[in-house]
Amino acid sequence: ASINEYYDIAFKVMLLGDSAVGKTCVLVRFKDGAFLGGNFIATVGIDFRNKVVDVDNFKVKLQIWDTAGQERFRSVTHAYYRDAQGNLCFLYSTSSCSLCGKAWLTEIHEYAQKDVVIMLLGNKSDMAAERVVKTEEGEKLAKEYGVPFMETSAKTGVNVDLAFHAIAKELKHRA
Ligand code: GDP
Ligand code: MG
């Protein structure tokens, strides 16, 4: 895809969630179809990546923003929420702290603009042996907040394309 790839409509999507849940890896998987294991990009992050997806023969460009580790400093992210005009895609890891997700979703509701589209993703679904957050817990949390939910794996790629297509579809339908 060239830098000038044709599109009909564009949206900004911000990836949010605790450090190390896999935000950067999910974005790289979606954009490049690859998995960067280890801690290579963990502390760096990338700014954003564009990808055009097809929604009912309509070209939707997603400009997906990563965080460069600001998630470690909560005060910085409050401004980040306020500025988000497209979609907030919140990630948690199915293999760590089960309460993290809830704290972030509460913050999103407190700081984000009201019309923002939110999606909940439980990443690292491939790590079955280390799982601490059950699928049902993610589903319950998503239901409580009325947001779509999917479990993903940046490592195997499962549901990553599907999740961003769902986001593109939702944004297109709301536009
Ligand atoms: P971020 O801080 O949220 O951006 O997290 P990263 O994308 O840097 O990932 C943190 C660590 O988790 C890295 O060591 C990744 O290789 C690993 N990781 C990310 N996604 C997955 C996944 O879906 N499955 C597995 N097994 N590991 C993952
Ligand atoms: Mg990162």
pLDDT band at residue 2 under the 50/70/90 scheme: low
Strands, E, within the chain: which ranges?
9-16, 48-55, 58-65, 87-93, 117-123, 149-151
Ligand lying nearest the CA atom of residue 41: 1
Give nearest CA residue, ligand 1 atom 2: 20
d(CA 166, CA 4) in angstroms, rounded, equals 24
Structure tokens at 78: 């409050």
pLDDT band at residue 67 under the 50/70/90 scheme: confident
Half-sphere exposure of 127 (CA within 13 A, CB side): 16
pTM of model > 0.80: yes
What does pLDDT average to over the chain? 85
d(CA 148, CA 162) in angstroms, rounded, equals 12
For β-strands 48-55 and 58-65, DSSP reports them as: antiparallel
pLDDT at 129: 95
The kind and range of the H/E element at 103 are helix 100-111
Half-sphere exposure of 116 (CA within 13 A, CB side): 25
pLDDT band at residue 51 under the 50/70/90 scheme: very high
CA of 18 to the centre of ligand 1 (A): 11
State the average pLDDT over residues 73-80.
63
More confident residue, 14 or 70: 14
pLDDT tens across 106-163, in order?
878 787 777 788 899 999 999 999 999 999 999 999 999 889 999 999 999 999 999 9
Give 116's DSSP letter.
Answer: -
ipTM value, please give it.
0.99
Pocket around ligand 1 at a 6 A CB cut-off: 19-25, 37-39, 41-42, 45, 123-124, 126-127, 153-155
CA of 24 to the centre of ligand 2 (A): 4
How many CB atoms are closer than 10 A to CB 38?
6
